[in-house]
Amino acid sequence: MRIAMISMHTSPLQQPGSGDAGGMNVYVLATARELARRGVEVDVFTRATRPSQGHVVDVEPGLRVINVVAGPYEGLSKEELPTQLAAFAGGVLQFVRCEQIRYNLIHSHYWLSGQVGWLLRDLWHVPLVHTAHTLAAVKNSHRTPTDTQESDARRICEQQLVDNADVLVVNTPEETNDLVRHYDAEPEKVAVIAPGADVELFTPGQQRNTEQARRNLGIPMHTKVVAFVGRLQEFKGPQVLLRAVAELLRRDPARDMRVIMCGGPSGAQATVEHYTELARSLGICHRVRFLDPRPPEELVAIFQAADVVAVPSYNESFGLVAIEAQACGTPVIAARVGGLPMAVLDGETGLLVHDHEPETWADAIAELLDDDPTRIAMGVAAREHAAHFTWAQAAEKLESVYVEALEFELNVCHDRKPEGA
């Protein structure tokens, strides 16, 4: 089986937590790797953003990333990428002609890629599997007061993909409900496949791992640590955590705690300076340390160093950070939105918070930081819970979806044959 994966707006090789790179990048790379290890040949097509990338990157046997030139390498925002859909599709077609490749199926990620996949599906006469990752209607219903509303154009493009894709892959049953409620999707076209985590990489480690991680970060062992890992943008809620910590310290100025904010700015208005200034204005800048995005191999140390990981997003299709943190044996405090109630078991592996008010979040953080036995027990349960989510399992289910889509397409083509053919 040979699959064309399309991830136009962000490369799976880009560092998560920077720019537009996030959980989707992790998802695409991890599932593509596991599919390749199962014998599926996977080519991931993405837009080239610098000339030094190389046209074709061999990631590992059976997996390549194809960097397609479509528009300038730099200076093109995600909002401007629709102007390059035709150029990108043309680049994919040119590569296929030159390589004389035939793909059995297309799997597109995000609505921009879906539009390209829809065109290629009809040219190549193969099934189209689409994963939205985020939806305009859902983001608009959960956006913060300062967030820019997603455009009607995106909403229309997503509706076209819901209507025309052969299979819609989602992370949780909640996403199925979103597709049915907002886009009138046919439930039988939707396949629910939970993402995973690299549970061999993300592990609790030994006590010395935590000590080393804290020593490297300059944090004493006795200090309580709350970590935020993700893109620095309003929708991910870093401001919620900072205000909650300010509230905690207002209640108890002597509280010994630190906050780690690991991630880069995302979006035209977002800057690290904005959040450092917020911490300064709240009087907690001496308690907060901002770290650049880092690869998974280094991210493990952040999770191991933390007593609690906070995920205060306004919506998450699943919440990979929550699973990765729990795989390291660290409880998670998360917003009760999207797929996070599936990723975090409330009261067992962490806590779910019903709003984004600083006082409510301060209560939840204090509840875990001040109760060592409960927090430690949650950490053990968190590791066991995360073990149920692996990329190998996700890839196995994805391959089954591909096979079913191909069999259905074969049967449809057979039914279309004229009598006697």
Q: Using DSSP, state whether 54 is helix, strand or coil.
A: coil
Close Cβ partners of 42 (under 8 Å, ≥ 6 residues apart): 2, 3, 5, 32, 35, 36, 62, 63, 64
Three-state DSSP class for residue 214: helix
Beta strands in 49-189 (DSSP E): 56-60, 63-68, 105-109, 128-131, 167-170
Query: Quick check: 15 and 3 in contact, CB under 8 A?
Result: no
Q: Do the domains 2-196+390-416 and 207-386 sit in the same CATH topology, yes or no?
A: yes
* pLDDT at 268 (0 to 100): 62
The band of 332, judged by pLDDT with boundaries at 50, 70 and 90, is: very high
Closest to 127 in 3D by CA, of 335, 352, 340, 412: 412
Two tokens, residue 83: 């102007």
At CA 275, angle to CA 270 and CA 277, rounded to 5? 120
Q: What is the mean pLDDT of residues 234-256?
A: 96
Grade residue 145 by pLDDT with cuts at 50, 70 and 90: confident
Mean pLDDT within 241-250: 98
**pTM for this structure?**
0.88
Residue positions forming the annotated binding site for Mg(2+): 303-304, 306, 330
For the sheet with 41-47, list strands across it.
56-60, 63-68, 41-47, 2-6, 105-109, 128-131, 167-170, 190-192
What per-residue confidence (pLDDT) applies to 90? Answer: 97
Average pLDDT over residues 239-259: 97
Mean pLDDT over 308-326 rounds to: 94
Pairing mode, if any, of strands 56-60 and 332-335? Answer: unpaired
Quote the distance between the C-alpha of residue 3 and its chain's center: 21
Question: 2-196+390-416 in CATH: which number?
Answer: 3.40.50.2000
Q: What span, in angstroms and rounded, lies between the C-alpha atoms of 392 and 326?
A: 18
Question: Which residue ranges make up the annotated binding site for UDP-N-acetyl-alpha-D-glucosamine?
Answer: 15-16, 23, 231, 236, 294, 316, 324
Q: Where are the domains of the chain?
A: 2-196+390-416, 207-386
Annotated binding-site residues read 9, 15-16, 20-25, 78, 110, 134, 154, 231, 236, 294, 303-304, 306, 316, 324, 330
3-state secondary structure of 194: coil
Point out the annotated binding site for 1D-myo-inositol 3-phosphate: 9, 20-25, 78, 110, 134, 154
- CB neighbour burial string for 41-69, b if at least 16 within 10 angstroms, e if fewer: bbbbbbbbbeeeeeeebebeebbbbbbbb
**Between 115 and 270, the higher pLDDT residue:** 115
Q: What was the pLDDT predicted at 418?
A: 54
Residue 266 has pLDDT above 80, yes or no: no
Percent of the chain at pLDDT > 70 equals: 95
Residue 410: what pLDDT? Answer: 77
Q: Is it the case that residue 420 has pLDDT exceeding 90?
A: no
pLDDT of residue 19: 67
pLDDT band at 414 (very low <50, low <70, confident <90, very high): low
Q: Are residues 133 and 172 in contact, defined by beta-carbon separation less than 8 angstroms?
A: no
| CATH hierarchy code of domain 207-386 | 3.40.50.2000
Widest distance between CA atoms in the chain: 85
